[in-house]
Amino acid sequence: MATPSPDHLSARKKPRQARSRATLDVIFEATLQVLIAHGPRRTTTTRVAERAGVSVGTMYQYFPHKQALFYAVNERYLDILAERVEAACREQHGDSIKHMIDVLVTTYWKAKTERPEMTRALYRSVAEIDNEPLIQAFSQRIDAATAAMLASASDAHFTDLPTVNLTLLSTVFGTVRSVFEHRLPDAKTDAVLRQLMVMCTTYLETVSTASSAPASATPSSE
């Protein structure tokens, strides 16, 4: 399904026994914890191994080097995040635009703030790796999910769905990240997110060729 990782970043070998699958989980969680506690610069292989309760050698059986570990942790996170967004989008099929926006913003915000320190740590960890392939794959999944959702809206229809969708995603994801990183007091955060929803809803209404009320302007064939 997803684009395979470039080989210089992919895992060395895959776990075959239950034992090693558990080890991998432990390593991932330990990586996150060290990343949170010490920052990416002080996240060393030995420290992670120590925290995970395994030896460095074990880590090197699954990851050819430190970057591959960071890469894998990011991959896992983005996978879960994408799944959540996809699920949320699927659930809103056929609903109203306003509802879709609300859910999209809320879902993304929640995903980021459930473990805020983890989110921050992951943002920082990308300095050590080239995560563009990951971001690319993630974006495509989200793009497809929201495009399908928007196309099914009960109260709108978009002639240039790709552009509208891309705009919506850039705006929602960009703004949410911006708000998240600014550590505003809760009241302000809530206010901005609410305004963001208003803004996006209004935008979609503006660019929508109203579906329930038949278009007065003729849809041009392209």
Partner DNA sequence: TCATTATATGAACCATTATTCACCTTTATT
Partner DNA sequence: AATAAAGGTGAATAATGGTTCATATAATGA
Q: Tokens 């990586």 sit at which residue?
A: 31
Determine which residue in the list 1, 4, 7, 17 makes contact with DNA, applying CB under 7 A.
17
Of 15-23, 25-33, 39-47, 75-83, which segment contacts a copy of itself by CB under 8 A?
A: 39-47
- In whole angstroms, how close is the CB of 189 to a copy of itself at the nearest point? 10
CB 9 within 8 Å of CB 35: no
Provide the Cα torsion 180, 186, 187, 188; round to 10°.
-20
Determine which residue in the list 28, 95, 192, 209 makes contact with a copy of itself, applying CB under 8 A.
192
Given DNA, a copy of itself, none, residue 196, with its beta carbon under 5 to 8 Å by kind, binds a copy of itself
Residue 172 CA: distances (Å) to CA of 6, 14, 115, 146: 29, 36, 20, 12
By beta-carbon proximity to a copy of itself, the closer residue of 39 and 53 is 39
Token pair for residue 52?
A: 């995970």
CB 87 within 8 Å of CB 79: no
Which string of DSSP letters, residue by residue, matches 18-72? HHHHHHHHHHHHHHHHHHHHHTTTT--HHHHHHHHTS-HHHHHHH-SSHHHHHHH
By beta-carbon proximity to a copy of itself, the closer residue of 26 and 207 is 207
Nearest-angstrom CA–CA distance, 176 and 106:
10
Nearest-angstrom CA–CA distance, 218 and 2:
40
176 binds a copy of itself (CB under 8 A): yes
Determine which residue in the list 41, 185, 186, 218 makes contact with a copy of itself, applying CB under 8 A.
41
Read off the amino acid at residue 74. N
- In whole angstroms, how close is the CB of 135 to DNA at the nearest point? 23
29 binds DNA (CB under 7 A): no
Of 38-46, 92-100, 111-119, 154-162, which segment contacts DNA by CB under 7 A?
A: 38-46
Nearest-angstrom CA–CA distance, 136 and 119:
19
- In whole angstroms, how close is the CB of 104 to a copy of itself at the nearest point? 14
Residues of this chain that bind a copy of itself (CB under 8 A) = 39-41, 124-128, 132, 135, 139, 163-164, 166-167, 170-171, 173-179, 181-184, 188, 191-192, 195-196, 198-200, 202-203, 206-207
Residues of this chain that bind DNA (CB under 7 A) = 13, 15-20, 22-23, 42-47, 53-58, 60-61, 64-66
